């Protein structure tokens, strides 16, 4: 596992949030939905899913064919 300090802080924050929700995935989803509602004015709306954006075609969402040709 990568031990870069930034990733370590992110993982620790995720662990604290999970513990706050009793490690219950349903409560965790509820927590994040409430955060979305609370900070709705800060979120950037998207017109299509990430896997369909930026000139890339994903036939199987896990594979990408990059169509951004650069010389």
The residue ranges of every structural domain in the chain are 5-58
Q: How confident is the model at residue 3 (pLDDT cuts 50, 70, 90)?
A: confident
Where do we find the tokens 């513990």? 19
Euclidean distance between the first and final Cα of the chain, in Å?
34
**How much is the pLDDT for 55?**
58
Is pLDDT of 8 > 50? Answer: yes
pTM of the model as a whole: 0.55
Is pLDDT of 15 > 90? Answer: yes
**What is the tens place of the pLDDT at every residue in 24-65?**
999 999 999 999 999 988 887 777 666 666 555 554 544 444
Query: Contact at 8 Å (CB) between 33 and 43?
Result: no
């Amino acid at each position: 596992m990568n031990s870069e300090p930034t990733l370590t802080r992110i993982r620790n924050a995720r662990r604290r949030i999970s513990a706050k929700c009793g490690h219950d995935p349903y409560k965790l989803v509820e927590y994040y939905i409430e955060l979305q509602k609370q900070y709705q004015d800060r979120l950037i709306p998207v017109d299509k899913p990430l896997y369909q954006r930026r000139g890339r075609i994903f036939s199987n969402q896990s594979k990408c064919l990059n169509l951004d040709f650069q010389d």
